[in-house]
Amino acid sequence: MASCSGSGTSYGSEEDMQQQATDMRKQKRKLSNRESARRSRQRKQKHLDDLTAQVARLREENGQIRANLKMITQQCVAVEAENSVMRAQAAELGGRLGCLAEVLRFVNHGSGFLAEDGPGPSPWSVISASPAPISANFPC
């Protein structure tokens, strides 16, 4: 029996060693898990910081784009207004040109005042004798 109890004691110490090894593995695994969780939290925080910085950059860029858009829109409105004025001026000048062309045809091709027995009055004398002065603003 003494040998049984002696072998039982060695068996008990073997169980203790296995339990200690199991406990050490558990402790090591806990520590590894804690480190992994800490690294995961760090990555998550870094990702959050990166996203926060990106939001700030994009907001700033968006503000600049909005300011540029506002400036360009104002320039576009100004150019459209100027374009409208120029179109009106072009239409007025086109009308004046048409009137002047009509006067030139009248001057160059005769006024119809030519008499059969002579050349008749000069076209210039007919124009200068007209009661209303000729100007660039007269209606045709």
Is the alpha carbon torsion for 84, 88, 91, 96 positive or negative? Answer: negative
Check residue 69 and give its pLDDT. Answer: 98
Distance separating alpha carbons of residues 94 and 50, to the nearest angstrom: 63
Q: Would you state the pLDDT for residue 49?
A: 98
**Predicted pLDDT of residue 84:** 97
Q: The whole model's pTM is what?
A: 0.49
Distance of alpha carbon 52 from its chain centroid, rounded?
A: 23
What's the confidence (pLDDT) of residue 2?
A: 46
Q: And the tokens for 99? A: 């009137």
pLDDT of amino acid 55: 98
For the chain, report the end-to-end CA distance as a whole number of angstroms.
143
Tell me the one-letter amino acid at 138: F
Identify the three-state secondary structure at position 111: coil
Spell out the per-residue pLDDT of the chain, length 140, in tens: 444 444 445 566 888 899 999 999 999 999 999 999 999 999 999 999 999 999 999 999 999 999 999 999 999 999 999 999 999 999 999 999 999 999 999 888 865 554 444 455 555 554 444 444 445 555 55
